[in-house]
Amino acid sequence: MNNLSTPLSNDHVMLAVNDLSISYNGKVALRNVTLDVKSNEIFGIIGPSGSGKTSFLKAVNRMDELTSGMSTSGEIRFHGYDTSKWRNLYSLRKRIGVVFPLPTGLPLSIYENVAFSPRISGVRHKVDLDEIVEKCLRRAALWNEVKDRLSSLGSLLSGGQQQRLTIARALSQDPDLLMLDEFSIAVDPVTTMRIEDVLKELKNELSIILVTNLVQQAERLADRTAFFLNGEMVEVGKTEDIFEGKTSDSRTTAYVEGRFG
Amino acid sequence: MTMFAKTEHNVRCYATEKRWKALFLLMTALLILPVLVILTLLIVRGGPAISWEFLTAFPIKGMTEGGVFPALLGTIFLVSLALVFSVPLGIAAAIYLSEYAPDNVLTRIINLAIINLAGVPSIVHALFGLGAFVLFAGFGTSILAASLTLAIMTLPVVIIATKESLQSVPHAFREACWSMGATRWQTIRRIVLPNAVSGILTGVILEVSRTAGETAPIMFTGAAFFLPFLPESVYDQTMALSLHLFVVATQVPNVPEDLPYGVALLLIGLVLTMNALSIGFRIRLRNKKKW
Amino acid sequence: MSSKAQKAMAHMDRRDLSWYVDRAVQILMFVGGISAIVFIIGIFVFISKEGFSFTFGRFDIVEFFTSMNWRPTSESRETYGAFALIVGTASITGMAMLIAIPFSLGAAIYIGEFATGKTRESLKVLVELLAAIPSVVWGFIGLTIMNGLIIQLFNVPIGLNVLNAGVILGLMAAPIMTTIAEDALKAVPDRYREAAEAMGATKWQVIVKVVIPASKNGLVSAVLLGIGRAFGETMAVLMASGHSINIPGSVFDSVRALTATIAAELGETAVGSDHYGALFTLGIFLFLITFIINLTADVMVRGIRNK
């Protein structure tokens, strides 16, 4: 699944963030974040809303360029390569899949939703596209539900199905890093569990950043977890440590135990 | 007495409200009524004048008899050529404003320029067309000069309609495409435009209707009072329906009374049909949402 | 750290065809965007250019604004006093606003605040159709139907006058005013209305005390744009006003408007003559006035729209 010629070792640093600060029209949304995400790990980010989690994701795939008023400072390295020096940001974004909080099926058929990214990358042959579409829909646990109606509109699926469609679409980019932003907000609990299973599978092939407001979700899935609060990263550590009270900051324990947030 | 009893004060308030509501309804009706009266009158008076011959024959005997064929054809020429210029330009401008333009001073100036383009008196557009296209560019009084003048004048119609329909496509679709590494243009071409195309078409039909009715901008740039032949190229002058109405209504002696009514009915019929088409299209569009 | 991976990334970070296409399209669209500015400047430049020799030669600003003698074809001495034309335009526009302001604001309130569902939709469609009637057709209606009506109703010798042109222009300006005013009313957030209604206000009280004050700027700009529309109207005014130079003593007097003067006389002038230049100078005057009106309207409406 990896595009790079050499297999990556488990301690390969997929994403290295150094002293990242983000502001919107001068108002600081996130300050001085330093962390790294290794390959084949699920990296959880927890914190109450407004803590800067979504801004962080936007900065990683350089959506700041497309968001008016957003500016960043600090350094983000993807595979060790400074993203601010990237000449063709579109090629960067192709390596990083994103799943947004609200499921967004594009107003295209289910098939074309998943074929969108391969198409813009130059895949033309129907056979190749068919293969990619089926594979990605299967991996997102949606294939069985939609295989008989691939030509119906993706934007008219149910919320849970649309979210899995979004994941299939993100996978069709063949990304090295998958970022999910509170994906379960508009999804029923059964679908949430199915998607969580999908993520555990996917971990063997890529890195995942899981932003969530459900602390238990991070506890279930993440290898390491970072806690964001009011635009600051309070701490980052092994998920077990964070949830077993071995924290360096009392606010973290207070948050994971549900005392605020 | 309970809280909900009708106090005298409440009753009075309610009566005031009813009176005002009735007054406003009356005002609305008085605005709309003239249209219906005018339409009825034009149909009653102008209807008999319209015949197959009226549509297909040249005017004869100093425009007091015969048909309006060259004027009708001229209007079609002028409108078509104007669309050729204004539609691509207007769509480009709308795409820029909706998809690319940052929130800065330049964008504000562009928007202001568009409002002004729509607000400048039509006769000033005529002066501009005369100065820029007829004289400076050397097109002479011609279909080309008149169409360009019309195109610039009605450009705001296309820009505003297109911009609105582009912006009605949810922003989330764009973000989804961008996050997959689609360029802005790929996003526009594959997602935004296909979902805005019917709205754009609505705007274009509206522009046709506006352009067909304009008189002042073509008076000195390319439309002639009377021509005994049809134009052969874009450098020729042409007759036009709107100007023809002005001419037979004010400039020609001894016109039979029905004739100008017939021309007016034809012109307004053309314009209102286009408008109704555009409105109908828009309503159908709204009932057929994809998200 | 894996420098191989780093190299592979650097290899992947190439500007490909779609990157260049995107850039090219962006530039193309930008050109489309600034075309509006180019045209507005172009309009000003070209009418100034044609009017230049007159504006900086024969033009006498005092005569222009104070003399009511517009005699461009006089054999002894041509005079270019636009005072009567300005008064003509102002009187017709004033008459039009007398009709259009109350009626279109009333209609906007009815359509925006009282009417619901199908009624509302059909009223909006009818207002839109009202806006679609071409200027020259309105002129024709003024010339024939309105003319006869005024002669009969008021027992006056001629029906082509301030009243006629004013009513026609009022009807022409009303749709745009109604539409913009209704937009302004709709821009008032529903929670304002709900908050007032929760305190027991009737709908009418909500409109007067909450909705209208909150949308004041938008309503003013609707009126301004209506004035701009009436002020710049040409064919209808030419046909319905009587087109005779006059300082009107009553609404039954014929007048002559700035726009109509250009439309009526431009065809008979020689390019480059004083008369020709004088008409372009009138054009510059019209352009500047409408520019100021539109600018003011835009500044006013920004207050609401800039959310």
Residue A145 lies in a domain: yes
Residue A113 lies in a domain: yes
**Which pLDDT value is given to residue C251?**
86
Three-class SS state of A97:
strand
CB B20 within 8 A of CB C203: no
Are A88 and C9 an interchain contact pair (Cβ–Cβ within 8 Å)?
no
Nearest to A169 among B172, B180, B191 (CB): B180
Residue A185 lies in a domain: yes
Q: Which residues of C touch A86 (CB under 8 A)?
A: 13
Are C43 and B128 an interchain contact pair (Cβ–Cβ within 8 Å)?
yes
Are A4 and C13 an interchain contact pair (Cβ–Cβ within 8 Å)?
no
In this predicted model, which residue has the larger pLDDT, C92 or C249? C92
**Which pLDDT value is given to residue C307?**
37
DSSP state of B24: H
Position A33 pLDDT exceeds 60 = yes
Are B180 and A94 an interchain contact pair (Cβ–Cβ within 8 Å)?
yes
Residue C62 lies in a domain: no
> Which of B263, B257, B227 has its CA nearest to residue B245?
B263
Residue A261 lies in a domain: no
Q: What is the 3-state secondary structure (H, E, C) of A186-237?
A: CCCHHHHHHHHHHHHHHCCCCEEEEEECCHHHHHHHCCEEEEEECCEEEEEE
Residue C1 lies in a domain: no
Note the pLDDT tens digit of each residue in C22-35: 999 999 999 999 99
Position B6 pLDDT exceeds 80 = no
Query: How confident is residue C76, by pLDDT bands cut at 50, 70 and 90?
Result: confident
Q: In chain B, what percentage of residues exceed pLDDT 90?
A: 52
Tally of domains within chain B: 1
Picking from A69-73, A148-152, B145-149, C300-304, which range would have the lowest pLDDT averaged per residue? C300-304
Tally of domains within chain A: 1
Average pLDDT, chain A: 88
Residue B220 lies in a domain: yes
Tally of domains within chain C: 1
Q: Which range marks the domain in which residue B206 is found?
A: 69-240
Name residues 62-101 of chain C within 8 A of B (Cβ): none
- Residue C273 CB partners (closer than 8 Å, separation 6+): none
- Average pLDDT of the residues in C142-156: 91
Q: ipTM of this predicted complex?
A: 0.89
Note the pLDDT tens digit of each residue in C214-268: 998 889 989 999 999 999 999 999 999 988 888 888 889 889 999 999 999 998 8
Q: Which residues of B touch C129 (CB under 8 A)?
A: 35, 272, 275-276
Strand (E) or helix (H) holding B26 = helix B8-46
Three-class SS state of B20:
helix
**Which pLDDT value is given to residue B57?**
79
Are C129 and B95 an interchain contact pair (Cβ–Cβ within 8 Å)?
no
Average pLDDT, chain C: 87
Residue C110 lies in a domain: yes
CA distance C158 to B125: 32
> Which of B247, B217, B239 has its CA nearest to residue B71?
B239
Find where tokens 């149910």 sit.
Answer: A158
Hey, what are C151's tokens? Answer: 């002669």
In this predicted model, which residue has the larger pLDDT, C1 or B173? B173
> Which of A226, A231, A223, A224 has its CA nearest to residue A255?
A226
**Which pLDDT value is given to residue A2?**
42
CATH classification of the domain holding A205:
3.40.50.300
Q: Is the dihedral of CA A154, A157, A163, A164 positive or negative?
A: negative
- E strands within chain B? 59-60, 65-66
Position B166 pLDDT exceeds 90 = yes
| φ, ψ (nearest 5 deg) of residue A225 | -135, 140
Q: Is C202 on the interface with B (CB under 8 A)?
A: yes
**Which pLDDT value is given to residue A68?**
80
- Average pLDDT of the residues in A185-201: 89
* Best A63, A87, A90 residue to mutate vs chain B (most B CBs within 10 Å): A90
**DSSP sequence for B143-174:** HHHHHHHHHHHHHHHHHHHHHHHHHTS-HHHH
CB A101 within 8 A of CB A184: no
Residue B169 lies in a domain: yes
Q: How far is CA A13 from CA A207, A218, C8, in A?
A: 10, 20, 15
Are A88 and C3 an interchain contact pair (Cβ–Cβ within 8 Å)?
no
**Which pLDDT value is given to residue B5?**
55
CATH classification of the domain holding B222:
1.10.3720.10
Q: In chain C, what percentage of residues exceed pLDDT 70?
A: 95
Hey, what are B259's tokens? Answer: 């004739």
Residue A243 lies in a domain: yes
Q: Is C271 on the interface with A (CB under 8 A)?
A: no
Nearest to B102 among A68, A100, A104 (CB): A68
**Which pLDDT value is given to residue C258?**
92
CATH classification of the domain holding C95:
1.10.3720.10
Strand (E) or helix (H) holding A58 = helix A53-60
Note the pLDDT tens digit of each residue in A100-148: 888 888 999 999 999 999 999 888 899 999 999 999 999 998 999 999 9
Residue A8 lies in a domain: no
Position B291 pLDDT exceeds 70 = no
Strand (E) or helix (H) holding A110 = helix A110-120
Q: Is A222 left (phi over 0), alpha (psi -120 to 50) or beta?
A: beta
Q: Which range marks the domain in which residue A72 is found?
A: 13-256
Residue B115 lies in a domain: yes
Residue A108 lies in a domain: yes
Average pLDDT, chain B: 88
Residue B40 lies in a domain: no
CB atoms within 10 A of CB B29: 14
Are A6 and C14 an interchain contact pair (Cβ–Cβ within 8 Å)?
no
Q: How far is CA C248 from CA B176, C78, C256, in A?
A: 64, 23, 10
Q: Which range marks the domain in which residue C148 is found?
A: 70-305
